[in-house]
Amino acid sequence: MRSNVWWLSALAALACAGTPAGGSAQELRIGFLSTTTGGGAVIGRHQVNGWRLGLEHEGWTKAGDKLGGVVTRIFEADDQAKPDVGLAAAEKFIKQEKVQIIAGIIWSSIMLPVYKVAMEAKVGIIGTNAGTSLIAGPLCNPLFISTSWQGDQPAEALGMLIRNDKVQSIYLMAPNYQGGKDLVSGVTRPLKGVKIIDTNMFKLGETDFQAEISKIRAVKPAAVFVFAPGAMGPAFVKQWAASGIGREIKLYTIHTIDGVTLPAIGEAGIGAIETIQWTHDLDNEVNKKFVKDYVAKYGHQPSNFAEQAYNAPRLIAAAVKARGGKIDDIEALMRTMRKVSFPSARGAYQYNVNGFPIQNFYKAEVIKGDDGTPRIVNRGIVIANHKDSYWEKCPADKRT
């Protein structure tokens, strides 16, 4: 709680601080920040792949090519899933590379310090994954937009699904960082009438869940909710399956069994349920081309993380075109992103006043495919045009 207050006080002054970044009005300069080493690299690889494919679909493949009709330079950096490294990379983007926009960012713990320096420098941020509640309400800023979700949203949808499934009791698990806290907050919000047995905030990066599984067996909930992103997911699910506890207790997940982790998890994931804003089998032409070209280029199925990053350059290009190539006013360009139509792989959606999507969330289930290989299938909409729970706290002068 104290750290949240610190961030609120540290960021509150940003509305009046800073001067515009020094990128040329004739050249768009974008920094893409992701995690390409360490345990989080499994997600980062999909993000980088999706980002690069989105650029390619907009006609950009190298420095000097045009994005939305404007000559564009792209810089990439690895944050190693470490806030200090991510902050240093962002500062280099701003001070040395003179970027006008920073895109990417997987982890909320990195988004927060990067958000601070970017808002201070009047540099735009396009978040392709992290969506902490701390920047969705009072600290919202028109220089920010997301192509993923506000952190509570997919969990709120899952909470609705759990409630609709008439689950009597549940045990909650998530890593102990802001993203985990947001997801626990989100999933519990709709759980009226469902008994919460316990909430286990485990260490970020944990890979040994034997003690947690033993505790779950002892308290006997009807269901378990787990958020275990990256390498934590396969570790948890394999141990869960090996214990046999899944025969008695239903497993609900968020960002745990997905297009990134399923190849490593294999049949241990069959039967698990998740709520998500995109699946590879969504029936629209943009998505079909995205999936086909992604598989051809990278040799594996894309995940929602790849789709989220893919949308970012397509959104940038659409906004640049809508402004007739004018990029001298980055806040105006970021505001345009919230209103312009663009070819999203998840289909058309709108933006809320705080820069987070208003979008559908679907029930996704892991099944055994006809070829015997586990796959994720879309089981229909859980909630349509879902707004995050913090937008009304966004100050009127910061809304779009």
Q: With contact defined as beta carbons under 8 Å apart, do 137 and 394 qualify?
A: yes
Enter the DSSP assignment of 387.
P
Whether 152-276+361-386 and 2-149+283-348 are alike in CATH topology: the answer is: yes
SS3 content of the chain, % helix, strand, coil (to 5): 40, 20, 35
DSSP state of 284: S
Q: Are the C-beta atoms of residues 121 and 21 closer than 8 Å to each other?
A: yes
Amino acid at 321: K
> With a threshold of 0.75, does the pTM exceed it?
yes
* Contacting residues for 207 by C-beta, under 8 A, at least 6 apart: 231, 232, 235
Q: What is the pLDDT of residue 21?
A: 45
Separation CA 94–CA 111 (nearest Å): 15
d(CA 337, CA 236): 38
Sequence spans of domains, the chain: 2-149+283-348, 152-276+361-386
Please report how many Cα atoms fall inside a 13 Å half-sphere around the Cα of residue 292, on the Cβ side.
8
Q: Say which CATH superfamily domain 2-149+283-348 falls into.
A: Response regulator (3.40.50.2300)
> Helices in the chain by DSSP H: which ranges?
2-12, 41-57, 83-95, 108-121, 152-164, 178-188, 210-219, 232-243, 262-265, 285-298, 304-322, 330-337
State the chain's maximal CA–CA distance in angstroms: 64
Looking at domain 152-276+361-386, its CATH architecture is 3-Layer(aba) Sandwich (3.40)
Q: How far is CA 64 from the centre of its chain?
A: 29
Q: Count CB atoms within 10 A of the CB of residue 242.
A: 12
Which residues of the chain have a pLDDT value below 70? 1-25
Is 376 in contact with 280 (CB distance < 8 Å)?
yes
